[in-house]
Amino acid sequence: MSVLEIRGLHVSVNTENGSVEILKGVDLTIKSGETHAIMGPNGSGKSTLAYSIAGHPKYTITSGSVTLDGADVLDMTVDERAKAGLFLAMQYPVEVPGVSVSNFLRTAATALRGEAPKLRTWVAEVKGAMEALNMDPAFATRNVNEGFSGGEKKRHEIMQLELLKPKMAILDETDSGLDVDALRIVSEGVNRAKVNNDLGVLLITHYTRILKYIKPDFVHVFANGKIVEEGGPDLADKLEANGYADYVSK
């Protein structure tokens, strides 16, 4: 049983016009097995929250804390956060020219498991993960995210989620750019990871449609750098009907 605790998180970015505060005090607690949906309009700071937890160098934490099972996440390097059990499925996964998917996955698995996975079981593991997400085997020989379609990038992120077995996953708009079939396949991958690894999920989304496939236990409305309303799954239905207008105008 793991707990990710975010307390009073304030985050700024440096711009040409000096430092701008994006997150204005975020409080959130996620436990193993729980799924929390964070919903909010574009520009409200959802990705900033995701990146700040993962440790992207662009963001400066000005106050607050993030802990995983009591350990200070903000004090860790990016790779240490992953080793502690955090995973970020990115809204815009990054291309790494010349590095094949198979090489990348094996390097990551080696880093996270502390030893190189046995070649034979590893090959079967990757093959299984790819089949489960309806991915062409040739995918493994392609360069990381290079020339991938939007859907392929998202499948690749979820394949990593399944292979790398984190404790807590932040999924940043994993649903955007997916057609209905791909959305279902990707959602099933997330649900498998939840069942198999008792995964805690922070599901960031702009739309409610992914919530039909991945059932949230809690829904948080995010606007202007903080959580402005919280509730159960029914809050998503309300957002579906009314949109974010109520929150943005405040």
What is the spatial distance between Cα 130 and Cα 137, in angstroms, rounded to a whole number?
Answer: 7
Nearer to ligand ADP, 121 or 249 (CB): 249
Interacting positions 19-58 with ligand ADP (CB under 6 A):
20, 22, 40, 42-48, 58
What is the spatial distance between Cα 164 and Cα 112, in angstroms, rounded to a whole number?
Answer: 7
Ordered strands of the 168-172 beta sheet: 86-89, 168-172, 200-205, 35-39, 218-223, 226-231
| Least CB distance to Mg ion at residue 93 (A) | 13
Distances (CA, A) of 114 to 78, 137, 194, 231: 16, 26, 23, 39
Helices of type H across the chain = 46-54, 78-84, 101-113, 119-132, 150-164, 180-197, 234-242, 245-248
Residue 15 interacting with ligand ADP (CB under 6 A) = yes
Say which entry of other proteins, ligand ADP, Mg ion, none residue 42 contacts (CB below 5 to 8 A, set by partner kind).
ligand ADP
> From residue 55 to residue 94, what is the string marking binding to Mg ion with x (rule CB under 5 A)?
------------------------------------x---
Give, for 86, the enclosing helix (H) or strand (E): strand 86-89
| Least CB distance to other proteins at residue 79 (A) | 4
Region near Mg ion per CB under 5 A, out of 25-33, 45-53, 157-165, 223-231? 45-53
Among the listed residues 120, 118, 103, 196, the one whose alpha carbon sits nearest the alpha carbon of residue 158: 196
Region near other proteins per CB under 8 A, out of 12-20, 23-31, 79-87, 197-205? 79-87
| Least CB distance to other proteins at residue 87 (A) | 8
| Least CB distance to Mg ion at residue 169 (A) | 16
Region near Mg ion per CB under 5 A, out of 43-51, 105-113, 187-195, 233-241? 43-51
Binding Mg ion (rule: CB under 5 A), the pick from 47, 145, 174, 197 is 47
Instruction: Give strand pairing partners of 43.
Output: none
Binding other proteins (rule: CB under 8 A), the pick from 39, 68, 73, 90 is 90
Specify the residue for token string 């059990």: 85
Say which entry of Mg ion, other proteins, ligand ADP, none residue 200 contacts (CB below 5 to 8 A, set by partner kind).
none
Ordered strands of the 3-15 beta sheet: 18-31, 3-15, 59-68, 71-72
Nearer to ligand ADP, 48 or 197 (CB): 48
Phi, psi dihedrals of residue 136, rounded to the nearest 5°:
-65, 135
Binding ligand ADP (rule: CB under 6 A), the pick from 3, 13, 76, 132 is 13
CA dihedral sign, ordered 105, 109, 112, 115: negative
Binding site for Mg ion (CB under 5 A): 46-47, 91
Binding site for ligand ADP (CB under 6 A): 13, 15, 20, 22, 40, 42-48, 58
